[in-house]
Structure 1
Amino acid sequence: MLTQVEKFQHFVALHQGPAAFVIPNPWDAGSARILASMGFRALATTSAGFAFSKGKRDSFNCLDRDEMLANAAEIVAATDLPVSADLGNGFGPEPETCAQTIRLAYSHGLVGGSIEDASGNADAPIYAFDHAVARVRAAAEAAQGLPFLLTARAENFLNGRPDLDDTLRRLQAYSEAGAHVLYAPGLPDLEAIRTVCSALDKPVNVVMGLRGPVYSVEELAAAGVRRISVGGSLARAALGALVRSAQEVRDTGTFNYANDALPVSQIAVLMRH
């Protein structure tokens, strides 16, 4: 097994490599093992996928830090790949809370994690600029000296604020505050993605599979993207397969869905300790 430092070194190298890479998002240890077996070189947790697996909505009010980090630790233990975590908004508004979350994430074996500027407050969904920057700075200071890559997320486009100028201003400030990777989920098109990448001096993460247009790895790499995640979309695809299979049984009384199921023998190999 690789040490945490070795995993971190591999993770950093991926961001500095010659091409964009995909970091898929498992939601539990089993899905992590399947993705690791397919040749992916790093993994990232998903709050949405984990929430669905627990019968919850993906929201700040439904998931707490302890259960999110416990899920992340199970994913870390399941493979030898570097794992970065979706750490939501740091699980609290205060900068010190964000810093504590980073330290706890590191203690759970993670080599990276993201802090977003969404507040969870419907009346003011995005933290004020100065406060948001202070939160990223505290998280970056907590990560300093640790084998931990901090991603800072600007959440405007997922919260009804499609303001590209403000998003760029925030990402540039988060970079200056010490974030290692920058991320603005929900950008509307390839031109916006290209604009963000060209305006920043750190690797940019883009998410595919959520909503809106879908671009290939090749197209995103040409636009300047370094890292591509898929959020909860793999978990939603798995739930879609479950629903379609159950509908077949309910509506037609047939079981043809089993033809597409993974063989037990293959699963046994993937899940062995």
Structure 2
Amino acid sequence: MSVAEFRALHDGPAPLILVNAWDAGSAKLMASLGAKAIATTSAAVAWAHGWPDGDTMPWELLLTSLRAIVGAVDVPVSADVEGGFSDDPAAVADLVAAVVDTGAVGINIEDGSSPPDLLCAKIASIRSRCGDALFVNARTDVYLRGLAAPDARLTETQRRAKLYTAAGADGLFVPGVTDEYDIATLAAGTALPLNVLARPGLPGALALSALGVRRLSAGSGVAEAAWAAVRAKATAFLSDGDSDALCEGGGNYSTINALMTARA
């Protein structure tokens, strides 16, 4: 799938909804349910490899996951590259070039707790290296990490949005924002499609569309729910070995196996 096709998904009548995946199997499931694109979640990809989230996993494992995901689905794939696994803009551009080589057409890259000028430098370096070969979704963590006082978060996010736009970003991702006024103000104040993250209290997709949101991400939410379900089942089985309780809600072997048999 091309970058142009992925960009066009941000221009539809409703927000692009991304139920983030973490491996080829979860990506195939999301695609089979009608997902128009697949985005990875850095947390769940890291967990699947036994690493914590937060630029800690060897990035070669990210590339391995991306190759498998791209090869498993026939919809556009966007990669969460966290902060780029480095503070060196040139090294980040090297990583992103390798991401493009997997067939992914987009990335999320975040400022985290670092100065916004650093993310600007990373985006500029990525653009210099990769040109328009991918959709760069610039994530700012002002709301998510509380990087400004509550009454200053909107203004600070707007300031960063202008910086990231000038650096060459294609999209603006503001995880943590849920207030309708703030969302509408952010959407109206930037030329970039606004992406928000599923959080308690966030309006539904139709309401978000009316506020100007163009992209809604599940983030690690589905993966967290899956881990919780596995933990509950495994804990119960380890405690008493009750096969009936373990198998309750199961019976999906044939369905899952058939899904994995079909190739992109």
Q: TM-score, normalised by structure 1?
A: 0.87
In structure 2, how many angstroms separate the alpha carbons of the residues matched to 1:34 and 1:64? 26
Report SS of the residue matched to 1:205: strand
Q: Structure 1: any 5+ residue segments left out of the alignment?
A: 1-5, 119-124
Do structure 1's residue 269 and structure 2's residue 254 form an aligned pair?
no
Preserved CA contact (<8 Å) 1:206 1:229? yes
Q: In the alignment, does 2:178 pair up with 1:184?
A: no
- Determine whether 1:154 maps to 2:148: no
Provide the rounded CA distance (Å) in 2 between the counterparts of 1:157 and 1:251: 44
After superposing the two structures, state which structure 1 stretch, 137-146 or 85-94, moved more: 137-146
Deviant stretches of 4+, over 4 Å: none
Partner of 2:105: 111
Stretch moving more, 105-114 or 213-222:
213-222
Distance 1:167 1:70 in 2: 33
Structure 2 unaligned regions, length at least 5: none
Shift of 1:167: 1.4
Name the counterpart of 1:193. Answer: 183
1:16 aligns with 2:48: no
Query: 1:102-150, CA deviations, whole angstroms, 9 ceiling, x for partnerless residues?
Result: 21111111100011112xxxxxx222x333322222223333242x111
- What is the deviation of 1:151? 0.8
Instruction: Find the counterpart in structure 1 of residue 160 from structure 2.
Output: 170
Q: Note the C-alpha offset of 1:48.
A: 0.5
Q: 1:258 to 1:219 in 2, by over 3 A?
A: farther
Q: What is the CA distance between 1:252 and its match in structure 2?
A: 8.8
Instruction: Say whether 1:214 aligns with 2:202.
Output: yes
RMSD after superposition: 1.9
What TM-score, normalized by structure 2, do the two folds share? 0.90
2:111·2:118 contact (CA, 8 Å) conserved in 1? no
Indicate whether 1:81 and 2:71 are aligned: no
CA contact (8 A) 1:43 1:84 kept: yes
Alpha-carbon separation, structure 2, partners of 1:262 and 1:36: 21
- Please report how far the alpha carbon of residue 262 of structure 1 lies from its aligned counterpart in structure 2 after TM superposition: 5.3
Residue 234 of structure 2 is aligned to residue 239 of structure 1: no
Choose the corresponding residue for 2:63, options 63, 69, 77. Answer: 69
Give the % identical residues. Answer: 34
SS in structure 2 at match of 1:159: coil
Determine helix, strand or coil for the equivalent of 1:200: coil
Deviation at 1:160, TM superposition (A): 3.0
Deviation at 1:254, TM superposition (A): 5.7
Deviation at 1:159, TM superposition (A): 2.5
Call closer, same or farther: CA 1:98–1:188 in 2, change over 3 Å. Answer: same
- What SS does the aligned partner of 2:22 have? coil
Which residue of 1 is the match for residue 242 of structure 2?
253
Question: CA separation of 1:74/1:217 partners in 2, compared to 1, >3 Å: closer, same or farther?
Answer: same
Cα deviation digits, residues 160-209 of structure 1 (max 9, x gap) = 3142211111112111221111111111422222221111101111111x
Could you tell me how far apart the structure 1 residues matched to 2:40 and 2:143 are? 21
Conservation of the 8 A alpha-carbon contact between 2:14 and 2:205: no
- The aligned amino acid for 2:26 is S
Contact 2:194 2:215 in 1 (8 A): yes
